[in-house]
Amino acid sequence: MSMAYEEYMKQVAKPMREELTSAGFSELLTPEDVDAYMEKAEGTTLVVVNSVCGCAAGLARPAVNESLKGDVIPDHLVTVFAGQDREATAAMRDYFKGYEPSSPSIALLSGKDVVHFIPREDIEDEDLENIARALKAAYNSHCKNQA
């Protein structure tokens, strides 16, 4: 890929990154970031595999942000960006045992274990409110942290 294309894609992705980081998500940009985070992972973590890809990504980010307005939320919020931070995304997906790679996708972890997973096919063509409702139900089942 040309450097011009890479720079263009970074600029395209910037507001998509900020949509999550402004809501409190920490970006994991390298495999080392992912492994360092996962080595010490305690409590619950919401992981968003962010993406530029069409309507699913356009639904995932707002749905996630809406889901965090509830009374019970995960202890930690992290994100990797598929297609941008490829190695970090691959490293995070290694922790999603039994789940096919999907972009975007949303995983709720308890420690290092996936306790709830929403793949792309359950995001696209879904209502934002239904995605947020499913996430809130997962938080209520697995999280103890009060907002």
Catalytic residue among 53, 90, 114, 115: 53
Q: Return the ∠ at Cα 78 (arms to 116 and 37), rounded to 5°.
A: 100
Tell me if residue 53 is catalytic.
yes
At 60, list the tokens.
């995932």
Could you say which of 55, 99, 144, 147 is catalytic? 55
Peptide bond into 101 cis (omega under 30): no
Q: Is 55 a catalytic residue?
A: yes
Which residues, in sequence order, are bridge partners of residue 107?
A: 47, 117
Residues 21, 27 contacting (CB under 8 angstroms): yes
Among 51, 56, 57, which Cα is nearest to 80's?
Answer: 51
> Read out DSSP for 28-73?
--SHHHHHHHHHT--SEEEEEEE---HHHHHHHHHHHHHHTTSSB-
The residues annotated as belonging to the active site are 53, 55
